Amino acid sequence: MNKEIKKMKKGKYMKRLFSGIQPSGTIHIGNYFGAISNWIKLLDKYDCIFCIVDYHAITIPYDKELMQKRIFDAAVDNISAGLDPEKCKIFVQSHVSEHTELAWILSCFTRMGELSRMTQYKQKSEQHKAHANCGLFTYPILMTADIAIYKGEVVPVGEDQIQHVELAREIIRNFNTAFDDILPEPSEILSPTPRIMGLDADNKMSKSLNNHISLTETDEDLWKKLAPAKTDTNRQRLKDPGDPAKCNLFSYHKLVSSDAELKQVIEGCTTASMGCFDCKKILCKNFSELMGPIRDKKEKLMKEKDYVLNVLNESASKCRKIAKETISEIKGAMGL
């Protein structure tokens, strides 16, 4: 049963939204349009909690010397991209120990078969064969605890994450059946943006595949990436007409170009009256207009380390208070 538990935010009742942020280095436009730009639209609608998930990050091999930098960069990048700390909480997972405490409790309500069916586990354990550890296997339980510790009701996800929210509901239902319907079953808010492909046009955009466009790319670097990028293969010569539907760069145009520019590109491409060079120049200009203010904000925040750390600490303190209340209610109901 999904209890309607609403929270106060600036005098209004709002459902609580939870989302995790991987501390995996610089964010790219796939992250921005697949997640962050949607989160920004939800800031005024929900009581939003964003968690930099360092405990999840250690389930695969990582460099401990870089961890703090990556956490800091994740905070700076996301705030620069539009996660306004005045409108949401943004903190580090390991700073609120109740996440892992609840994960243990919920692991007692999770069936092994449910975990072994998870597509992400199959993919990641294959990818990191030598390090396929228990943490990677039980990752969805910690993810469920991340949501449940705040009685989160909505989780914004891409299509590849729906399976995790379904499992979270299942685990929470198992718990609620045994103990008093304490935890709301979360529902997903599906990101309206389809998968964003990388510059290679063959794989989803990913930093590890080096097919990405960073959100804070300089204009010069942006052009260096767009200029050689794959287009419709039918456009061998300037006079060959193309089909924007077969061009990966047109999918980028749809993210940042105006309706008039899209029309201009479709007409120019299909009649061969516009070359790929000019088409890429329009795309580069539009990306640059999006990225300029984000880049400036990032530059400013990188010089204001105390401010950023303060945002993380204050948010963690508010989250800890909520988490302690939930864990105490759970333990009470369980006779612990």
* Positions that interact with ligand SF4 (CB under 6 A): 231-232, 235, 242, 244, 247, 249-250, 265, 269, 274, 276, 279-280
Q: How far is the CB of 242 from ligand SF4 (least distance, A)?
A: 4
Among residues 15, 124, 151, 298, which one is catalytic? Answer: 124
- One-character DSSP codes across 110-164: --HHHHHT-HHHHHHHHHTGGG--HHHHHHHHHHHHHHHTTT--EEEE-GGGHHH
Q: How far is the CB of 266 from ligand SF4 (least distance, A)?
A: 8
CA-based nearest residue to 150, from 16, 22, 329? 16
CB closer to ligand SF4, 103 vs 199: 199
The two counts, helices (H) then strands (E), for the chain are 14, 7
Is residue 207 annotated as part of the catalytic site, yes or no?
yes
Q: CB within 8 A of 165, min separation 6: which ones?
A: 155, 157, 186, 187, 188
- Which is nearer to ligand SF4, 35 or 249 (by Cβ)? 249
Q: Which is nearer to ligand SF4, 259 or 306 (CB)?
A: 259
| Catalytic residue check, 124 | yes
Euclidean distance between CA atoms 146 and 17, whole angstroms? 11
Enumerate residues 6+ apart whose C-beta is below 8 A from 79. Answer: 85, 90, 297, 301, 308, 311
Cβ-based nearer residue to ligand SF4, 81 or 279: 279
* Smallest distance from ligand SF4 to CB 312, Å: 41
Q: How far apart are alpha carbons 101 and 278 in whole angstroms? A: 56
CA atoms lying within 13 Å on the CB side of residue 227 = 6
Closest to ligand SF4 by CB, 96 vs 249, is: 249
Given 7, 87, 207, 297, which residue is catalytic? 207
Task: Confirm if 323 and 150 have CB atoms less than 8 A apart.
Answer: yes
Tell me, yes or no, if 129 is annotated catalytic. no
Find the shortest distance in angstroms from Cβ 209 to ligand SF4: 21
Residue 1 near residue 119, CB atoms below 8 Å? no
Q: How far is the CB of 224 from ligand SF4 (least distance, A)?
A: 16
Length of the chain: 336
3-state secondary structure of 248: helix
- Report, in Å, the least distance between residue 257 CB and ligand SF4: 10
CB 189 within 8 A of CB 159: no
Q: Which is nearer to ligand SF4, 30 or 244 (CB)?
A: 244
What are the residue numbers of the active site? 124, 204, 207
